[in-house]
Amino acid sequence: MIVSDEIHIKLDALIRAFMPVLEDEGSAACPGKAPGDLYRYWEWPQGIGLFGLWKLYEKTHDDNILDTLVKYYDARLAEGLPDKDVNTMAPILALSLLAENTGRDDYMNVCKEWAEWLMNGGLPRTPERGFQHKTRNDLNDGELWDDTLMMAVMPLAVMGRILGRRDYQEEALYQILLHIEYLADPVNGLWYHGYSFNERNHFSGAFWGRGNSWITMAIPLFLEIIPMSNANKEYLNTVLERQVKALVPLQDENGLWHTILDDVSSYTESSCTAGFGYGIVKAIKSGILSSKYSECADKALSAILECIDENGILTKCSGGTPMGRKSKSFYNEIPIRPMPYGQAMAMLFLSEYI
């Protein structure tokens, strides 16, 4: 039986291991940062980590966390920000919430600039006006990726709420619905990593674990943020439950899910498990999902606690994963390594139990 003290101890350890990610000396949770590179601090792994810290601050009101966030963003704004793309939008999510909390105009002005860039053609669009998953090094012409919903659409939705910009909220909702249309499998409820309008296919056709977990996390959050009709709410509820229903029998007996969800020969992976757990527990609390899914989430919790080592590092986390274009086995070849998003996803999950 898991006791609250164990959860608090592990959560504190995760936070301690994550904090150096935001500082100059680097961290075991984010190896290989390159000095002089603006992207070393402002990319999607840090963005997810910052959001994890923000959600912890919302729960705990710990001023040390708030001070850490302020110090981080002050340093980044002072040194200048990298070019805008799907992945560098991710740190805007926590910054927008911090700007709202602190009332800092300099923070909010940056968020407004980046949101306008996203809305008004700065990011290339696919056919049917989808947000093309353009990154620092890759145009990814005509491609929708499931990652985009968490990295870019979520910040836009939050800015829509903060500013009362219904156009931002409607655009975010449209992107959600378009990504569902092209990425959610109508038969089994799982999500493909991506879709190519140019090739009219889902690349290797893989149901990648962490990519699916972004959706499990994002849908309950979107339902909190975006005002929408009962019909759209019901539709998103159905999409989420269809996915979670498919996930239950795919959970390994050790409590983790496989990096290729429907391939038991692929390794079991912790970041997707934390993401699934967070989304499932949050959806149960919100009344989106039935409590019958609690057993699945509790198994995931036990597994994640075991994956957190004595230094607070989440083990069994897969590294950054580009599109598996030709072969599903590509995902099983991604090396296991500590990553800041793994820390953050575990923090988010554990925080739902405190």
Decide: 115 and 158 in contact? Cβ < 8 Å: no
Mean pLDDT of 219-236: 97
pTM > 0.85: yes or no:
yes
Which of 350, 352, 353 lies closest to 14, judged by CA?
Answer: 350
Task: Place 26 in a pLDDT band, splitting at 50, 70 and 90.
Answer: low
pLDDT of the residue at 249: 98
Decide: 266 and 330 in contact? Cβ < 8 Å: no
**C-alpha Rg value of the chain to the nearest Å:** 19
Q: Where are the domains of the chain?
A: 4-351
Q: Which CATH code, of 1.20.120.530, 1.20.140.10, 3.90.1150.10, 1.50.10.10, is assigned to 4-351? A: 1.50.10.10
Give the position of tokens 């999510």: 93
pLDDT of the residue at 30: 57
Mean pLDDT of 222-249: 97
- Is the pLDDT at 159 greater than 70? The verdict is yes
Tens of pLDDT along 173-217? 999 999 999 999 999 999 999 999 999 999 999 999 999 999 999
- Is the pLDDT at 32 greater than 50? The verdict is no
Tens of pLDDT along 57-107? 999 999 999 999 999 999 999 999 999 999 999 999 999 999 999 999 999
HSE, CB side, 13 Å, CA atoms: give it for residue 33. 24
Mean pLDDT of 37-66: 88
